[in-house]
Amino acid sequence: MPELPEVETTRRGLAQHLSGCVLSKIDVRQPNLRWLVVLPESLLGQRLLGVTRRAKYLLLRFASGNLIIHLGMSGSLRILTAYHPAGKHDHIDLIFSETRSNSPRGNSILRYTDPRRFGSFHYQPGAVSEHWLLQKLGVEPLAQEFSGLYLYHHAQRRKTAIKNLLMNHQVVVGIGNIYASEALFRAAIRPNVRASRLTRAGAERLVISTKETLEEAILSGGTTLQDFTATDGRPGYFRQQLYVYGRTGKPCRLCGTSVKRVATGQRMSFYCPKCQS
């Protein structure tokens, strides 16, 4: 599943390649994604003013409003600079034309591919923060608002496992199973510890390790932007070296102890019993 770093890498790729271009054609071959895709014709002829991100939603900003895109479980976006026949899972093309007269570039096709069709496209005129998908979201993990004090405050009196709190999108957005497990390892906190037992110092460590884990992943993704315009294959998603996620029974990369797993809520969590004691 695309996590926040992959979405942020995609955002940078879109901003770099498409900002300033004019949307000239919308081709929805399969509207039955997670929700029915209905895109207004009024978007045609509008210039893409910028690409931002809120949680794992990509926001393509036009003068009249925003296109809100979520990649779901298996979605990806890539940019084609020459015609390439659409495959079975290539559901949506947004065709942009380069209008700057001094540029030799022609059309760019932003192609959405999604085998499992859990992704989504919505259009929101006016203020994008008022869209129902975005209304109840917590703070961004890389923003200053996500601080040790903030996390400590939200952890008080909660009986849930600390990892579940870190993945609660009404508290902090965009942290999935992989990055929650890795951030907890770096902070030396077990994933199944009750949130209410988190100390103020532990909260500080966990916030710092969460930001570091995400930022490293974004940086390693940034090196793959060149691949973003590849005409075949997936966009340049990446896998940074993981310490614990998915490594049950393998030696901890720091101390050699076997990595263990434990259920936290519906999900499996991974930890080193020695480093995270």
233 burial via Cβ count (<10 Å: 0-12, 13-18, 19+): exposed
Nearer to Zn ion, 4 or 272 (CB): 272
Total binding residues toward Zn ion, as defined by CB under 5 A? 7
Span of 6-14, 210-218, 226-234, 257-265 interacting with Zn ion by CB under 5 A: 257-265
b (16+ CB within 10 A) / e for 126-152? eebeebebbeebbbbbeeeebebebbb
Which one of 149, 255, 263, 265 is in contact with Zn ion (CB under 5 A)?
A: 255
Which one of 254, 258, 263, 265 is in contact with Zn ion (CB under 5 A)?
A: 254
Residue indicated by tokens 């034309």: 97
CA end-to-end distance (rounded Å), the chain = 29
How big is the chain, counted in residues? 277
String marking each residue 258-277 x if it binds Zn ion according to CB under 5 A: --------------x-xx--
Which one of 209, 245, 252, 264 is in contact with Zn ion (CB under 5 A)?
A: 252
Nearer to Zn ion, 153 or 250 (CB): 250
When asked if residue 187 is in the footprint of Zn ion (CB under 5 A), the reply is: no
Tell me which residues in 215-234 interact with Zn ion (CB under 5 A).
none
Active-site residues, by number, are 2-3, 56, 267
Shortest Cβ contact with Zn ion: which residue? Answer: 252
Which residue in 71, 65, 97 sits closest to 11, CA to CA? 71
How many Cβ atoms sit within 10 Å of the Cβ of residue 253?
A: 15
Residues in the site for Zn ion, rule: CB under 5 A?
252, 254-255, 257, 272, 274-275
